[in-house]
Amino acid sequence: MSIEIVVGNFKAELSYSQMQDWLTQFVKIFPQEGYPNKKLILCPSAAHLQITKDAVAKAHLSISIGVQNISHVEKGTYTGEITAAAVAGLAEYVVIGHSERRRNFQDRADRIQEKIHLANTYGLSVILCTEEAERYQGILFAVAYEPSSAIGSGKPGEPKDSMLEMEKFKTSLHANYYLYGGSVTEENVHSYILSGFDGILVGKKTLDPVHFTELVKNA
């Protein structure tokens, strides 16, 4: 049986203490043995990477940690930037090209290419989000098809149509795993797996540990 990937994207929703509470609850309810053939990647705020990593390690959960973005600059006098090198010891994965970053923070193709290059250089595995066939140099761990109309809208993409869109990308974007993202819930998650996706990227439904655990179970 192949592995299913579940990426939980916390975006910029939780305060430090809310993230502490989330972790406290989550380690109580998430089964220590995990779910067979499911790989979970938690992507908290960069400011919460360490507490997330510590909580997961302390509870002996086999869960991976990802960062939601990295800088397109490698290092230097760039106050406030979070570089690939700075997070490489904390996170194993990085989400690149999320539509919220493309829309709000000028993540264009050239920047996305630089970020992929830096992630590859510093050993972060790339989860690339896109809604169209793009072409980049470098190694991609996963590509997530994320129709922007579906992200955070409560209007999920139709699973089979989404899979047909994803199929179009496969010739230009080579990755180990192809994911769906956009208004995934514990009720609809399995329909994406049944339609051929290797996993999902979840935003809103990550924020409640009980619902999130249910979603992972149902994937």
Q: Which residues bind ligand PGA (CB under 6 A)?
A: 9, 146, 151-152, 181-184, 201-205
Of the candidates 4, 98, 100, 186, the residue annotated as catalytic is 98
Nearer to ligand PGA, 9 or 213 (CB): 9
Residue 90 per-residue DSSP state: T
Tokens read off for 129: 């989000």
CB closer to ligand PGA out of 111 and 146: 146
Beta-sheet pairing, 199-202 with 125-130: unpaired
When CB distances to ligand PGA are compared, the closest residue is 203
Least distance from ligand PGA to the Cβ atom of residue 6, Å: 12
Smaller CB separation from ligand PGA, 125 or 130:
130
Token representation of residue 179:
């994911």
Residue 96: CB minimum distance to ligand PGA, A: 12
Phi, psi values for residue 173, rounded to 5°: -120, 105
Judge contact between 126 and 149, C-beta under 8 A: no
Q: Are 70 and 87 in contact (CB under 8 A)?
A: yes
- For residue 60, the minimal CB distance to ligand PGA (Å) is 28
How near is the Cβ of 75 to ligand PGA at its closest, in Å?
28
| Secondary structure letter of residue 47 according to DSSP | G
Closest CB to ligand PGA among 54 and 187? Answer: 187
Q: What is the DSSP letter of 198?
A: S
Instruction: Give least dist CB 180 to ligand PGA, A.
Output: 10
Catalytic, out of 4, 100, 131, 146: 146
Q: Which is nearer to ligand PGA, 136 or 186 (CB)?
A: 186
The CA dihedral of 171, 174, 175, 181, to the nearest 10 degrees, is: -50
For residue 16, give the H/E element and its range.
helix 16-29
Q: What angle do CA 92, 94, 100 make, to 5 degrees?
A: 155
Looking at residue 114, what DSSP letter applies? Answer: H
Whether residue 146 lies in the annotated active site: yes
- Report the catalytic residues: 98, 146
